[in-house]
Amino acid sequence: MGWWQIAACLALGLSVALGQARAEEIKRPNVLFIAIDDLNDWVSCLGGHPQVETPNIDRLAKRGVLFSNAHCQAPICNPSRVSLLTGVRPSTSGVYDLNQPLRRAPALRGAVTLPANFMASGYHVLGRGKIYHGKPYADEWHDFKVRPDARNKQFRVKPISRLPKIRVRDFGPIDLPEEQFGDVINARWAAEALKQDFGKPFFMAVGIRLPHVPLYAPQKYFERHPKKGVMLPRIKPDDLADLPPAGVAITRYMDKTPLNHEAVLKTESWHEAVAAYLACTEFVDHCVGLMLDSLDKSAHAKNTLVVLWSDHGWHLGEKRLWAKRSLWEESTRVPMILAGPGLAKGRCGRPVQLLDLYPTLAELCRLAKPPQTLEGHSLLPLLREPRAPWPHPAITTFQRNDHAIRTERWRYIRYANGDEELYDHTTDTEEWHNLAGEMRFRPVITKFRSYLPKVNATDAPTR
């Protein structure tokens, strides 16, 4: 038995006792925790793209708090999810990239993850799909599978797009009934599971894989977006001219992969790629709807907190980038909604972080205090009053010592080599005009430098 299991057993024993005592005080809410992979702000309630229609995510937003200025802590799957699930920043854990498992990071030794904490705090903990990047830790769940129970056939498709043939970066409609898509299979599993009585509160996590590439969805979702009518994101032709060298370097990282901007232009695939992202996002919204419909009809309808989030955003040609791995708004801004009993309804523009979810759920569900320091802030003040004061910025870290700081007005970026960028969102929501070189903004930059994380941990071990 390793240190982790021993710690988990001790925590479990302790908090089972605590949990039983508390259960008698007041009923704790169930949690339906919906994780979406690579979904940027192209959902209708966030206004990121004028043609997208996401009625189910919108109706969830209407019955809770929609955080319209929410940001990931790392613009890549694994470090974003590790940060959310431990409540620890990438710059503290040293988990910056894909192949750094949570349990190999010395700074996370003994950390109790969010699902482990729910289990130790007396919840029934179950899930499907992608919650962690890679396999979940079996000892944190009563019932979990990454892969759908039924066989899904979407992974047998030959590449469709005109880009160099590689399935993992591909996009297009595939002629399969929706029942054979993994996300539908998992959403239907959740819809069924929500009909059950677990005899105690539950934490149910459902990870939806789309709109992660390959961007495959049933034909009917593509029919809504014929490529000729699709609107491309707005681009400033000389947008890169005012970037410092470290920023320019980031705009080149996709060049050696099949889905790069030159290849998209050369094969005239931009419209189709945007259409595919829109189609897949609307298909994701359909999956969210399957779960919400079932929840609404279930006995849990009035006592379930729904948390919806995406692990980071996605570029579709802005700053000639495809995918993520940048410190600009396209990569860091994420949909984040909390709706449930006793929470306010409204839109909140305060800068908040996925990192804030652990302390928020810990407070709302009265979880055990974990051994690690939670570096986010409970959102409860904003869940009660979305316009409440909020002094904290949102901080995103990309690799070691590259950080972005987002407030309501500004985005400040500082790379490890000292290069800086500054954008004023009151006049420049596209982040086209880098103001870092202008003398009049020196005081703003000086203030933002003081917000930078003080620790920049060395890289955690790889697998």
Q: Which residues sit opposite 406 in a β-bridge?
A: 394, 411
Paired with 125 in beta bridges are 203
| Count of alpha carbons within 13 angstroms of residue 267, beta-carbon side | 16
* 275 is an interface residue for Ca ion by CB under 5 A: no
Query: Which span sits near Ca ion by CB under 5 A: 145-153, 171-179, 282-290, 309-317?
Result: 309-317
Catalytic residue among 71, 124, 133, 286: 133
Q: Does 198 bind Ca ion (CB under 5 A)?
A: no
- Residue 58 makes CB contacts below 8 A (sequence gap 6+) with 43, 44, 45
What is the spatial distance between Cα 123 and Cα 19, in angstroms, rounded to a whole number?
Answer: 9
Smaller CB separation from Ca ion, 15 or 154: 154
Whether residue 133 lies in the annotated active site: yes
User: Which burial class, exposed, middle or buried, applies to 134 when counting CB atoms under 10 A from its CB (0-12, 13-18, 19+)?
Assistant: middle
Select which of 77, 280, 348, 365 is catalytic.
77
**Closer residue to Ca ion in complex, CB, 97/311:** 311
- Residue 77 beta carbon to Ca ion: minimum distance, rounded to whole angstroms: 4
Q: Which segments within 254-303 are labelled E, that is strand?
A: none
Q: How far is the CB of 292 from Ca ion (least distance, A)?
A: 22
Residue 451 contacts Ca ion per CB under 5 A: no
Burial class (CB in 10 A: 0-12, 13-18, 19+), 127: buried
Residues 6+ apart with CB under 8 A from 374: 87, 88, 358, 359, 362
C-beta closer to Ca ion: residue 177 or 237: 237
Mark residues 204-243: x for contact with Ca ion by CB under 5 A, - for none: -----------------------------------x--x-
What is the nearest approach in angstroms of Ca ion to the Cβ of residue 309? 11
Which position among 4, 29, 36, 38 is part of the footprint of Ca ion (CB under 5 A)? 38
Please report whether residue 77 would count as binding Ca ion according to CB under 5 A. yes
Specify which residues 34 forms β-bridges with. 206, 308
Give whichever of 84 and 338 is closer to Ca ion, judged by the CB atom: 84
Question: Partners of 315 in the beta sheet?
Answer: 323
Of these, 170, 311, 330, 375, which contacts Ca ion (CB under 5 A)? 311
Burial classification of residue 415, based on how many CB atoms lie within 10 Å of its CB (0-12 exposed, 13-18 middle, 19 or more buried)? buried
Enter the tokens of residue 229. Answer: 């009518």
How many CB atoms are located within 10 Å of the residue 62 CB? Answer: 14
Minimum separation from the CB atom of position 383 to Ca ion (A): 25
Size of the site for Ca ion (CB under 5 A): 7
Q: Is the CB of 239 or the CB of 296 nearer to Ca ion? A: 239
Between 436 and 460, whose beta carbon lies closer to Ca ion?
436
Residues 94-153, interacting with Ca ion (CB under 5 A): none
Nearer to Ca ion, 242 or 296 (CB): 242
> Can you point out the beta strands (E) in 193-298?
202-208, 215-218
**Shortest spacing between CB 353 and Ca ion, in angstroms:** 16
> Contact between 432 and Ca ion (CB under 5 A)?
yes
Q: How far is the CB of 139 from Ca ion (least distance, A)?
A: 24
Is residue 37 near Ca ion by the rule CB under 5 A?
yes
Nearest residue to 406 (alpha-carbon basis) of 327, 345, 318, 335: 327
Q: Which position's Cβ is nearest Ca ion?
A: 77
Q: Please report whether residue 41 would count as binding Ca ion according to CB under 5 A.
A: no
Give the range of 88-96, 390-398, 412-420, 425-433 binding Ca ion by CB under 5 A. Answer: 425-433
Query: What is the DSSP secondary-structure string of 227-255?
Result: GGGPPPPP--TTGGGG--HHHHHHHTGGG
Distance between CA atoms of residues 283 and 174, nearest Å: 13
Q: Is 77 a catalytic residue?
A: yes
Q: Which residues belong to the active site?
A: 77, 133
* Residues making contact with Ca ion (CB under 5 A): 37-38, 77, 239, 242, 311, 432
